[in-house]
Structure formats: C-alpha cells, structure tokens
C-alpha cells in the first residue's frame, strides 16, 4: 500500500501519559486488567528531518533502541499507516517509570503511548475512536488484557467479538488498595506463556469461571472477598517453577489472608488489599521476606487511563 505524506506541520507536539497495568488478577487470565498509578510520559514533536530520534530518561535508558526500532515509534508508524499516512520525522522524549519485564505492562504502555501520540498528531486530520484505539493496540500487543486498562483506566474486562476486541470498564471499590512487589529479576512474557499446558481439567476451568465472577464482585462491591476471589488453577501453578521467589512470597502472603497473585506474566506480585491498613500489613510481611529483595509500591487504581495533550505549533514559537 502506498502511503501519503502525513499533513502534520513541523513543530506540532503532543504529550502522552500512560499508566502501568496488571493483568489476570489471579483467575481472570487474558481477560481482566487493572490500571495503576505509575506512569510513562512521552513527548513527541514533528521535525523536518526524516526518521525518528528517541531520548529515554529513567527506566530503559541505555537499553531500549533510540531509533526507528523503538517500540513506541513502531506503534506510531503502525497507527499512521492504518489511516494511509507515512510517518513524519519525529523527536521523542520518553520519561519512563514502569519497570520492564516484570509484569506491569511495560510493552503495552509503550504501544499505547505510540498510538495515543499518533492520535494527537493526527488530531483534526483523522478521528481515531476508542474502538480503533483498542483494535490497533491489540493487534500490536497480541492480546487486550493489558492495553485495555492502559487505554481506558480502571478495571477492564476484555474479550473478542466478531474478530474485534471489546472492553468494559468498571470502577473499583474505594477500599481496594493495591500493593505491587517488584523483584530485581525479570521474566519473559513469551517464556511465561510457553509454560501453560495446551489444555486444563474441566473442573479447573469451572473453578476459574466461578472465581473470576466472584473477583468482579469483590473489586467493585465486596473487597472482603478478595482472598477467595483471587484463587487460580489455570496459569500460576504452571509457571511457579520458573519464579520460585514469586511463588514463595505469594504462598506466605496468602497464608496470612492477603490476596496475592502474580502480576501479569510475573515475576512481580500484586497484593489486592481490602483497605490501606491491610496494605501496610502486607508491606511489613514483604519486608521480612529476605530470601529475595522486593521493592514495594503502594499504588492507587488509575481511573483515567492514557491521556494526550496537543500543543499547537504557534505555542512553540
């Protein structure tokens, strides 16, 4: 397909903010996701020279590509191409806080950052609605459970209908207090997915259906049910051997009545506490668990999702 040069003026700039996410939440494998108050920030400016130049500050500095191979640039290019436009020359500054390779949706955040940047740059030229945003993000990420909450915030249920991804956003009970436990080690999403069996026993599937339904009720109405609601038989036990430190801490936390689960593909741990006092209790237990060093992050649920602000060219003069 021949792409048309994008009618985006040199100097147009957008600022994007995207939250971290945690997927699965225990039983909701590839379906449930939650946006959290930890953010990557991106500034993109159109320039005269072709190609992309990326500056990375914070997480990923010196590690991720800083040219056209960068995942954010890939997402911007893909979005422009979806609407028939070639990528203009770009300067990008990425200020990242979301850890990479630890189950907090960093790749999904990068993809959503790029798509939202493209949306802002094409403002007034193309109208990119929420369905298109989710479809493009899912195509790039491969599944919608992380990109849906990154885009829309809150608790999201994601599914596919007639070959297109869909989502439902729900508000979370104000008492729910997430604690994220982040280790120094990383985990490949591809490896984590490869550890799942091709099929599971019928009774395990029924078990997870019941727990997923209960988890929705616990998160939006009855946080006291979170421990039972986060039980899982579909994926966490199969991945445990690859993340022994994660498995050990989850077992300990749950033995104290705390709803601890693997965050996404891991190895980070999400503890869904029913109130701030219980979250402090969880953090104290993690601090005593000295077999592995864990960074604890007391986060809020992000309800806004990704945002983009456009700065007109004349504002930059």
Annotated binding site for ATP: 99-109
Distance CA 151, CA 283 (A): 29
CB 209 within 8 A of CB 32: no
Q: Extract the annotated binding site.
A: 99-109
- Chain centroid to CA 12: 27
Q: Phi, psi (5° rounding) for residue 215?
A: -65, -40
Distance CA 1, CA 227 (A): 52
CB 90 within 8 A of CB 45: yes
Helices (H) and strands (E) in the chain, counts: 10, 13
Integer CA distances (angstroms), 143 to 98, 127, 131, 205, in order: 19, 24, 14, 20
CB 293 within 8 A of CB 269: no
For residues 76-92, one letter each, b for 16 or more C-beta atoms within 10 angstroms of the residue's C-beta and e for the rest, the string is: bbbbbebbebebbebeb
């Amino acid at each position: 397909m021949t792409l048309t040069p994008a009618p985006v003026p040199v100097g147009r700039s957008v600022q994007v903010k995207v939250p971290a996410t945690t997927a699965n939440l225990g039983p909701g494998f590839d379906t449930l996701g939650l946006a959290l108050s930890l953010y990557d920030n991106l500034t993109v400016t159109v320039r005269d020279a072709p190609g992309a130049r990326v500056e990375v500050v914070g997480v990923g500095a010196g590690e991720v590509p800083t040219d056209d191979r960068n995942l954010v640039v890939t997402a911007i290019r893909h979005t422009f191409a979806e609407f028939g436009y070639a990528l203009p020359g770009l300067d990008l500054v990425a200020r990242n806080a979301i850890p990479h390779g630890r189950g907090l949706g960093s790749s999904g955040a990068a993809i959503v950052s790029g798509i939202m940047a493209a949306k802002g740059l094409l403002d007034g030229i193309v109208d990119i609605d929420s369905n298109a945003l989710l479809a493009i993000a899912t195509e790039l990420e491969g599944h919608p459970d992380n990109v849906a909450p990154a885009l829309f915030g809150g608790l999201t249920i994601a599914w596919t209908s007639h070959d297109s991804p869909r989502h439902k956003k729900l508000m979370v009970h104000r008492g729910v207090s997430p604690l994220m436990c982040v280790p120094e080690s990383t985990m490949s999403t591809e490896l984590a997915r490869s550890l799942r069996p091709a099929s599971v026993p019928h009774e395990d599937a029924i078990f997870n259906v019941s727990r997923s339904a209960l988890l929705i009720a616990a998160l939006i109405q009855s946080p006291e049910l979170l421990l039972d609601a986060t039980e899982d038989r579909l994926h966490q036990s199969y991945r445990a051997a690859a993340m022994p430190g994660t498995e050990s801490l989850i077992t300990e936390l749950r033995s104290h009545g705390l709803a601890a689960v693997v965050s996404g593909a891991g190895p980070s741990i999400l503890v869904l506490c029913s109130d701030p006092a219980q979250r402090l209790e969880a953090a104290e237990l993690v601090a005593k668990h000295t077999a592995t060093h864990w960074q604890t992050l007391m986060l809020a649920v992000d309800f806004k999702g990704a945002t983009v602000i456009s700065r007109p060219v004349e504002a930059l003069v």
